[in-house]
Chain A
Amino acid sequence: MAIVVRGLGFAYERAPVLTSIDMHAEVGSFTALLGRNGSGKSTLLRLMAGLLDPDAGTIEILGQALCALSPRQRARLIGFLPQQHRPVFPFSVFDVVLTGRAGHAPLNPRREDEAAAHDAIARVGIEALSERPYTELSGGERQMVMLARVLSQRPKLLLLDEPTAHLDLANQARLIGLLRELAGEGMTVVAAVHDPNLAFLHSDAQIMLARGRVVSTGSSRPPWARDVLVEVYGEEPWTLPFGDRSIVLPGPRRPERATPS
């Protein structure tokens, strides 16, 4: 198992965010975290990244207790992509990606650190941006740069908070393709996503959160089941069958317009 979470609880100043969370992810799998805004997805990712300390429960990463790892050990195992990033100084894209190596480099980056940064930039396919100032990029381009920064850490575990949020359709497809590829190479990927279809179609496992609790891990009933969707999103879902699964459409159901062929 790449991640095992048991009885995890967390509160921000006594307002509970997560309550007795149990979940796990297998090595080389792509797990999607789903839930409404404020359901605790980001907090769960931050806890798994070691950026927050849990109030209760344990997290194991590849058989080791997360709290026993030093910050540098953690950075070599776990890569975390935050939701959005506000830059101050116009560093070049390459220099931003290179900071991902801080946990590997002694004080200053060595040749191998620069090579890792170049590899990560090539992997994400943003070589053309490499010398551009980060501050002049669009939100979506920044997202790809931060992804390259995380990959330059060469982590075993990739945690992403809404990685597709600022991306256009083509870049979403590229990103999902890349995540699948990385999972195929043995990296464990956990991503919080807003689009349930993206999760249903492309991820290996789906963990549905509502009000800080796990509603479904997809093992007993499919995550696109009506009752699960109602519990997670609080709305009667409009689902259409799609192969062996379902897809969910946003907005109120309008049967007179729906003409599935």
Chain B
Amino acid sequence: MTARARLLWCLPLPLAAASLLIGPSSMAAPGDVLTWLLARLGLAPAFAPEREAIMASVLLDVRLPRVLLSMLVGASLTGSGVALQAVFRNPLVCPYVLGLASGAAFGAALALATGWLPPQVAAFAGGLAAVALAYLLARGRREVSTVSLILSGVIVGGFFTALLTIVQFLSDPFKLQTIVHWTMGNLHAASWSRVRSAALPAAVGLGALFALRFRMNVLALGDEEARAVGLSPERERLLILIPATLAASAAVAVSGVIGLVGLAVPHMARMIVGPENRRLLPAAVALGAAFLLVVDDAARSLFSFELPIGIFTTLLGAPVFVWLIWRARVGWEV
């Protein structure tokens, strides 16, 4: 492992520690948190019992799950983005661009509104349906081109957003507020139960992607090239798409649509460790966790009110997308 990759791996830890210090509560300013920690270690006088209870609640029940959730969501969206880009041989796709996030959001919203299925399961089903639709629409007769896949992703994303709007339209006002807030891409409602519900599918998804990262290199060279060296591209694509969708839908189910993280962060990681997926995937996952932590810190501390984080990431990611299109010189004929 290179020094750069090692640095990336260590990045989330100090950031997570620093993020625990940040928050709107005046009772738990950075200085208070440090004294509280020292007190817990017996190095400073203990807090008064009421103050102690508030500190413990702010740090352990509010900030810690939020820090963990933003890392989990950042890592899942980025890992998924790296995998999607490799299997579709397309540096311009991510869960958001492909419509996967909209499909998962529709599934989760339907589950929230009706209670038929657990949101995680419904999000996975919605995400899988969206990826399959986008791919089949783009495939036509021949190989999938860069632009046609993006266009079909736009259509599929729009389709599922429309379905999501129907769910919202038919929901009662109380549920509507929850759903709308959640769809904007929000880590505001982070809780231990959300961390728990996302942890398993995210870990399974990312673990499978980690195991298959060399196969991503093989697929990224093309279908015929993969077949010539003994892999079935259709089978491998499916094997990679399922965990990629699982990880991304797990993120969407707990945090709504946080756009373009899965597009922008893999490219940042490529600039640091190069495009080879055996090195790229772990580095990008670590960077994704760190990235979303920082953006979330900004989202909850820059203004006196909290902005949904999805707005931030989409505003940051859009110029990256434009730059990538410009650099790849993607024309309509490609």
Question: Which residue numbers of A lie inside 8 Å of B, CB to CB?
Answer: 49, 51, 71-76, 79-80, 82, 85-92, 95-96, 98-103, 105, 107-109, 149-150, 153
Contacts and interface: CB of A to CB of B under 8 A. Distances in A.
A108 B213 CA distance: 8
B275 interface: yes
A111 to B, nearest CB: 14
B227 A51 contact: yes
B9 to A, nearest CB: 18
Nearest to B235: A71
A63 B70 CA distance: 58
A107 B275 contact: no
B263 to A, nearest CB: 15
B328 to A, nearest CB: 9
Contact of A71 (B89, B214, B232, B275): B232
B224 A108 contact: no
Contacts of A72: 230
B278 interface: yes
B221 A99 contact: yes
B79 to A, nearest CB: 17
Contacts of B214: 102, 105, 107-109
A107 B232 contact: no
A97 to B, nearest CB: 11
**Closest 8 pairs between A and B when the two form their complex, measured CB to CB:** A103-B230, A75-B230, A72-B230, A89-B275, A102-B229, A80-B228, A102-B218, A99-B218
Contacts of A86: 222
Contacts of B221: 85, 87, 91, 96, 99
Contacts of A149: 229
Contact of A51 (B218, B228, B231): B228
Contacts of B86: 89
A100 B215 CA distance: 11
Q: Which of B91, B214, B226, B228 has the most CB of A within 10 A?
A: B228
B317 to A, nearest CB: 20
A107 B225 contact: no
Contacts of B220: 88-89, 91
Contacts, number: 77
Contact-residue size bin, chain B (C-beta under 8 Å from the other chain): 20 to 34
A107 B211 contact: yes
Contacts of B222: 85-86
B225 to A, nearest CB: 7
Contacts of B274: 90, 92
Nearest to B227: A51
Nearest to B86: A89
B217 to A, nearest CB: 5
Given A87-B221, A99-B217, A99-B218, 14 more contacts: A51-B228, A71-B227, A71-B231, A73-B230, A75-B228, A75-B230, A82-B224, A88-B220, A91-B275, A92-B276, A99-B225, A102-B215, A107-B212, A149-B229
B86 to A, nearest CB: 8
Contacts of A49: 228
B146 to A, nearest CB: 8
Contacts of A88: 89-91, 220
Contact of B217 (A74, A76, A95, A150): A95
Contacts of A80: 228
17 contacts: A49-B228, A51-B227, A75-B229, A80-B228, A82-B225, A87-B221, A88-B90, A88-B220, A89-B275, A90-B275, A91-B217, A91-B220, A99-B217, A102-B214, A103-B229, A105-B214, A108-B213
Contacts of B90: 88
A95 B310 CA distance: 36
Contacts of A153: 229
Contacts of B211: 107-108
Nearest to A49: B228
Contacts of B226: 102
A117 to B, nearest CB: 12
Nearest to A77: B230
